[in-house]
Amino acid sequence: MKKVGLIGFGRIGSSLYEKINSTEDVRVSLVYEMVEELTKDLDSKIIAESPDDFFNQDLDLVIEAADFRAVSTIALKVLEGIDMLILSAAGLADEKVEQALYQKTEQNKTKFYIPHGALLGMDGFQDARTAFDEITITTVKPPKNLDYRFQDKWTQDELTERTVLHDGNTREVCKMFPRNVNAHAVLAISSLGFDRTKSVIIADPESKLASHHIVAKGGDSITEIIQSSPIKGVTGEFTLLSVYGTILRILQDRKGLNII
């Protein structure tokens, strides 16, 4: 039986909890959530009082499903002894945090994984990163599905028509909308980096979906990917399914053909 620890029990964390516990040979054995109300229905035996509790169990993987702030605090602690799946990829836009993660895993011989999430083809971008000269990812979401707390330029109430909220590099947008642009961070990490990858964020009151449009150019070649899915809160439905698939690929020794 593979044992999993879970950090964060909001919409993503609770969804993963149900999916993982319905999977043969994998169980969530410990959950850490700062908001006690979110875990009130769980067995008290699996609730961690602090991230240090993860070291008291023989865990195969810890999953971060909180937000970017957990990457700079809890993740660095956990990676001292346990492999980790980090969903809040936008947290790596902080260069000091990114380097600290690499150093921590090298020192402790642990691994951290970044799921491709809502995006398709990230393995291809990683393999062919030297072939691209420019990459742009454009995301369109309804204004109600954006989190405005980490910037002071925009508010939901004023976005009554289609509006470009950001048109610049990915590092900048990760600081403005960290809970909305993990897909941008994943693309940047997979390809040209946070400073050379271009991010466009559009709030559209007429949109009912979350959509990502990637255009990558290199020489005479153009790669284009378009993906749209329903969204609730700040997370698209496709992301939940994708992350669950990533967890299974990490944990399960599946026979036969495996596309990773």
d(CA 111, CA 246): 14
d(CA 38, CA 31): 11
Residues 6+ positions from 247 with CB-CB distance below 8 Å = 4, 16, 20, 26, 61, 63, 85
pLDDT of residue 163: 98
Tell me which H or E stretch contains 169: strand 163-169
Structure tokens at 112: 């951290």
Question: How does strand 221-232 pair with strand 209-218?
Answer: antiparallel
d(CA 182, CA 232): 15
pLDDT of residue 258: 47
Q: How many CB atoms lie within 10 A of CB 47?
A: 16
- 């602690």: which residue's tokens? 77
pLDDT tens for the chain, 260 residues: list them.
Answer: 899 999 999 989 999 999 999 998 999 999 999 999 999 999 999 999 988 899 888 899 999 999 899 998 899 889 999 999 999 999 999 999 999 999 999 999 999 999 988 788 888 888 888 999 999 999 999 999 999 999 999 999 999 999 999 999 999 999 999 999 999 999 999 999 999 999 999 999 999 999 999 999 999 999 999 998 888 766 767 788 889 989 988 887 655 544 44
37 to 14, 40, 41, 169, 244: CA distances (angstroms): 13, 5, 9, 37, 24
φ, ψ dihedrals at 51, nearest 5°: -60, -25
Class for the domain spanning 2-114: alpha beta
Torsion of CA 103, 182, 226, 187, to 10 degrees: -20
Identify which of 230, 248, 249 has the alpha carbon closest to the alpha carbon of residue 238: 230
57 to 2, 27, 92, 192: CA distances (angstroms): 12, 13, 27, 38
Identify which of 213, 204, 137, 125 has the alpha carbon closest to the alpha carbon of residue 174: 137
Tell me which H or E stretch contains 250: helix 237-251
pLDDT of residue 21: 94
pLDDT of residue 57: 85
Structure tokens at 231: 């969204």
φ, ψ dihedrals at 4, nearest 5°: -125, 140
Q: What DSSP character marks residue 44?
A: G
203 to 158, 232, 242: CA distances (angstroms): 11, 15, 24
- Indicate the domain borders of the chain: 2-114, 122-234
The superfamily (CATH) of domain 122-234 is: Dihydrodipicolinate Reductase; domain 2 (3.30.360.10)
